[in-house]
Amino acid sequence: MAESAPVITIDGPSGVGKGTVARLLAARLGWHLLDSGALYRLVALGARRRGLSLDDAAAVAAYARGLPAEFREAAGGGEVRVLLEGEDVTDAIRTETVGNDASRVAALPAVREALLDRQRDFRRPPGLVADGRDMGTTVFPDAPLKLFLTASADERARRRHKQLKEKGIDVSLPDLLSEIAERDRRDRQRAASPLVPAPDAVVIDTTALDIPGVMAEVERHVRRVFGPAAGGG
């Protein structure tokens, strides 16, 4: 039964490294992966392409409900390919413009509601690692392990800058910092599913940690909750 599959939720602000940690953890455990941010990005990109106004909540929610998207999971922790109407948009949804548009459509309660079942459908045996902002509070409130990653805004901007640079995209660091701050503000202050840790979430400050350091901490909690055989070593 889908409901009985275990879920680990990983929430936190933009640029904190959730995506990488979620992908590594899912690969390590052999579990499915939900990148919920990609769903909001797909809605934003698709709505724009259809010429919808991002302020038209009813139209954007209707589009989100029938979102013509598909995720192709890669074996062994490779990048998940994301298709929109059959077109590979894996890279197209990663731009800062789409990220900002995603945070606008994500503030619309009707859009969040429209994506709920779709996100819960990812919960299948043997388990799911779900990455987002409200995985532990709204989408999977019964998850046995909820993680909330944080890092200072400066550090997150620096990480995002490095990531974009590696992809050959040159953005100014101060611009990135102000965009991250604006997106954080919108994500934290919205009425529908704001970005907050669930009361039972484990908060991990990653400011001074590299990815292996974060993974060691995450795996310690995985073993604590799921037993010594889980969470790698």
Footprint of ligand C5P (CB under 6 A): 14, 36-37, 40-41, 99, 102-103, 106, 132-134, 183, 187
- CA torsion angle for 139, 91, 77, 153 (degrees, to 10)? -60
Roughly what angle, to the nearest 10 degrees, separates helices 57-65 and 109-120? Answer: 10
Give least dist CB 132 to ligand C5P, A. Answer: 3
Give least dist CB 233 to ligand C5P, A. Answer: 29
HSE value, Cβ hemisphere, 13 Å, CA-based, for 99: 16
For ligand C5P, the closer CB: 103 or 206? 103
Give least dist CB 90 to ligand C5P, A. Answer: 12
For ligand C5P, the closer CB: 74 or 220? 74
CA distance 39 to 116: 11
Give least dist CB 133 to ligand C5P, A. Answer: 4
For ligand C5P, the closer CB: 45 or 231? 45
In 22-59, which positions are buried (b, 16+ CB within 10 angstroms) versus exposed (e)?
A: bbbbbbbbebbbbbbbbbbbbbbbbbbeeebebeeeeb
HSE value, Cβ hemisphere, 13 Å, CA-based, for 126: 8
Give least dist CB 224 to ligand C5P, A. Answer: 25
For ligand C5P, the closer CB: 37 or 127? 37
Give least dist CB 147 to ligand C5P, A. Answer: 14
Sequence-separated (6 or more) residues with CB below 8 Å from residue 133 = 11, 12, 13, 36, 37, 106, 187, 193, 195
Q: Decide if 117 contacts 66 (C-beta within 8 A).
A: no
For ligand C5P, the closer CB: 47 or 231? 47
For ligand C5P, the closer CB: 179 or 219? 179
